[in-house]
A and B are shown apart, each in its own frame.
Chain A
Amino acid sequence: MSTVAAPGPSKMALAVAPWVFTVGFFLVWEAICRIFKVSSFVLPPPSAVAVAMWEYRGPLAFHSAHTLWMTLAGFGIAVVAGILLGVALGASRLVHAGSYPLLVAFNAIPKVAVVPILVIWFGVGWMPAVLTAFLISFFPIVVNVATGLATIEPEVEDVMRALGASKLDIIAKVGIPRSMPYFFGSLKVAITLAYVGSVIAEYNASNYGIGNLMARASADFNVPLLFAALVALGILGVIIYAAMAVLERRTTGWAQRSNFAA
């Protein structure tokens, strides 16, 4: 299609655009700080943030690694629990009807409110961070896996059942493969949520992690370090999202055959 397409952005332009937009964002930020002489205490310019990032590169790297580890651990648990619960919900209308209101209610609870409870149960440390990451990220996985299973075409089900396939056969041969695009789509959402969860828990109840680093920087009124931590969070977030997107592309290429978003 691209060869006959009306004048649209070229491949080159599309590849360069993210970098141009990102650099442009920081340039505008820098310009605003300089033109309006914004106090570095309110909004430090990117140049000051960059200096802070370099100055604190050791702690930033250390705490980022810790946050990443918490996030991945919670996310891993969420994937396993999400698939199991999603298959149960997708395969049984009774389980779906019974548990859905509970799940929605649970999902609606701000997880920051759960952190104190986790601290009472497990104390300050890695447990609240991992569990918050898990609790905040498993819902989209459940919903998406269940949707993939619940939307099997009735005709495919008829074909399978007429051959004598059991419910388990249908789930294994049709339901699970067909829910994979939904599942991998949900991973992109879930991993960023898990990341938010671990940072929230670290902010409130940990001695390590970017969240904890920010809590201390804010107590010290070290605004450039606070912003440096935010930028580190942003970079890490993009990396883990991209990793999930690559995984999605590799595993469910059959579902991404449209030119629509190419």
Chain B
Amino acid sequence: MVPFVSLTGVTHAYGGTGAPAVDGMTIAVGEGEFAAIVGPSGCGKSTVMKLATGLQFPQAGVVTVAGARVGAPVKISGMAFQNPTLLPWRTTLDNLLLPLEIVQPHRGRLRRHRDEYVARAEALLEQVGLKGMGNKFPWQLSGGMQQRASLCRALIHEPQLLMLDEPFGALDAFTREELWCVIRDLHAARKVTVILVTHDLREAVFLADRVFCMSARPGRIIAEREIGLPRPRDLEVTYTPEFSDIVHELRGHIAHARSAA
């Protein structure tokens, strides 16, 4: 298998000096795969996202995405964070259209084919349960709704790679589980490659095909676990013994990493 996203022996320190955030890190994620990266807080999980999207470049090692070495922002990725980061002066619909104002070929076509793109945005909103909310401003939506809109914004330009940095961290437990299902369905429908950074092990096991466990800073991969649970997965699966066993096993790796720190 040729990986879609690969980090090989990657070491990175912010500003080029000081203690590295990640050290000798190697991961490979196949095309269309759903990967999760878990680890204790401050372990450099978010650094992995920045490296894989070309926002930062490693001091040592190689990052490749879609077969090409990363030397600039990759442009084929969409991102969502714990904070929905919607722009408050734009309606939800206009927030969704923002990436299209940046990425080619949409950038050149948006003005003349606006109706087509608006229809696409509205379809996406409907898919995540925000039908008819396009004309609302972000601050008129609840936290969970804002996060759904943020996911739509990350997907509107049909990226091949979706990067999620603890996107559900600030939500209540029920909303979080609802959004797990939204992500699960979006991934199933679009065959997009997803890298999810999280510290919620249940979330990682429920959503991912493959989970990477990171050590405490400087971040290194200490375990890689394929999640064989059959898809499509229902929330009920999270209450089965197999599920609990996997979570428990990963919990052991993280506990070990924390005690070693």
A interface residue numbers (CB < 8 A to B):
153, 155-156, 158-165, 169, 173-174, 177-178, 180, 252, 254-255, 257
Residues of B within 8 A of A153 (CB): 83, 85
> Quick check: which of B21-29, B71-79, B176-184, B211-219 contacts chain A, the rest being far away?
B71-79
B103 & A163 in contact (Cβ 8 Å cutoff) = yes
B89:A161 contact, CB within 8 angstroms: no
Q: Which residue of B lies closest to A164 (CB)?
A: B75
The answer on a CB contact under 8 Å between A158 and B103 is: no
List residues of chain B with CB within 8 A of the CB of A180. 89
Cβ–Cβ contact B85 & A178, under 8 A: no
Interface residues of B, count at CB 8 A: 28
* Beyond A153-B83, A163-B102, 11 additional pairs, beta carbon < 8 A: A153-B85, A155-B81, A160-B102, A163-B73, A163-B157, A164-B72, A165-B102, A178-B87, A180-B89, A254-B89, A255-B88
Q: Which residue of A is nearest B98, CB measured?
A: A173
Residues of A within 8 Å of B83, CB to CB, are 153, 155
A255–B81 CA distance with the chains assembled, in angstroms: 22
In Å, the complex CA distance between A178 and B87 comes to 8
Q: Of A156, A169, A177, which is within 8 A of B89 by CB?
A: A177
In the complex the two chains form, what is the Cα distance from A153 to B82 in whole Å?
13
In B29-88, the 8 Å CB interface with A consists of: 50, 53-55, 72-75, 77-79, 81, 83, 85, 87-88
A177 touches B87 (CB 8 A): yes
Q: How far is the CA of A92 from the CA of B136 in the complex (A)?
A: 34
Q: Within 8 Å of chain A (Cβ to Cβ): is B243?
A: no
Indicate if the CB atoms of B54 and A162 lie closer than 8 Å: yes
B101 at the interface (CB under 8 A from A): yes
Whether A254 lies near B137 (C-beta < 8 A) is: yes
Is residue B139 within 8 Å, beta carbon to beta carbon, of the partner chain?
yes
Nearest-neighbour CB distance to chain A for B245, whole angstroms, equals 35
B99 within 8 A of A: yes
Output the nearest chain A residue to B103 by Cβ-Cβ distance: A163
8 Å CB interface, B150-195 against A: 153-154, 157, 163
Residues of B within 8 A of A257 (CB): 139
Residues of A within 8 A of B54 (CB): 162
A-chain residues with CB within 8 Å of residue B99 when the two chains form the complex: 163
User: Judging by beta carbons under 8 Å apart, are A161 and B139 in contact?
Assistant: no
Pair B79/A178 contact, Cβ less than 8 Å: no
Question: B103 contacts which chain A residues (CB < 8 A)?
Answer: 163-164
CB distance from A9 to the nearest CB of B (A): 27
**For A153, A163, A174, A254, which residue has the most chain B Cβ atoms within 10 angstroms?**
A163
Q: Report Cα–Cα, A163/B75, bound state, in Å.
A: 4
Question: Closest CB-CB distance, A110 to chain B, in whole Å?
Answer: 38
Contact (Cβ within 8 A) A162 B74: yes
Point out the residues of chain B lying under 8 angstroms from A155, CB to CB. 81, 83, 85
Determine the distance from Cα of A156 to Cα of B55 in the docked complex, in whole angstroms.
Answer: 13
Chain B nearest Cβ from A254, distance in angstroms: 5
Q: Kindly list chain B residues whose C-beta atoms are within 8 Å of the C-beta of A159.
A: 79, 81, 85, 153-154
B89 close to A164 (CB less than 8 A)? no
**Chain B contacts with A in 108-141, Cβ cutoff 8 A:** 137, 139
Give the contacting residue for B77; candidates A162, A177, A252, A255; CB below 8 A: A162
- On chain A, the residues within 8 Å of B87 by CB distance are 156, 174, 177-178
Residue of A nearest to B140 (CB): A257
In the complex with contacts A155-B81, A173-B101, A161-B88 CB distance below 8 A: no
Which 4 pairs of residues, A with B, have the shortest CB-CB distance? A164-B75, A163-B102, A162-B53, A165-B102
Looking at the complex, which one of A158, A164, A169, A177 makes contact with B50 (CB distance below 8 Å)? A158
Most chain B CB inside 10 Å of its own CB: which residue of A161, A252, A257:
A161
Across-interface contacts of A164 in B (CB, < 8 A) = 72-73, 75, 102-103
List 10 contacting pairs A-B, 8 Å CB cutoff, sorted by A: A153-B83, A153-B85, A156-B85, A162-B55, A162-B73, A163-B99, A163-B103, A164-B73, A169-B102, A180-B89
Q: Tell me, in angstroms, the Cα distance from A194 to B153 when the chains sit together.
A: 43
Kindly provide the distance from the CB of B260 to the nearest chain A CB, expressed in whole angstroms: 30
Q: Are B88 and A254 in contact (CB under 8 A)?
A: yes
Q: Which residues in B have their C-beta under 8 angstroms from that of A178? A: 87, 89
* Chain B hits for A169, CB < 8 A: 101-102
| Closest B residue, CB atoms, query A252 | B89
Q: Smallest CB–CB gap between B78 and chain A, Å?
A: 8
Q: How far is the CB of A222 from the nearest CB of chain B, in Å?
A: 52
CB-nearest residue of chain B to A180: B89
List, in ascending order, chain B residues with CB within 8 A of A174's CB.
87
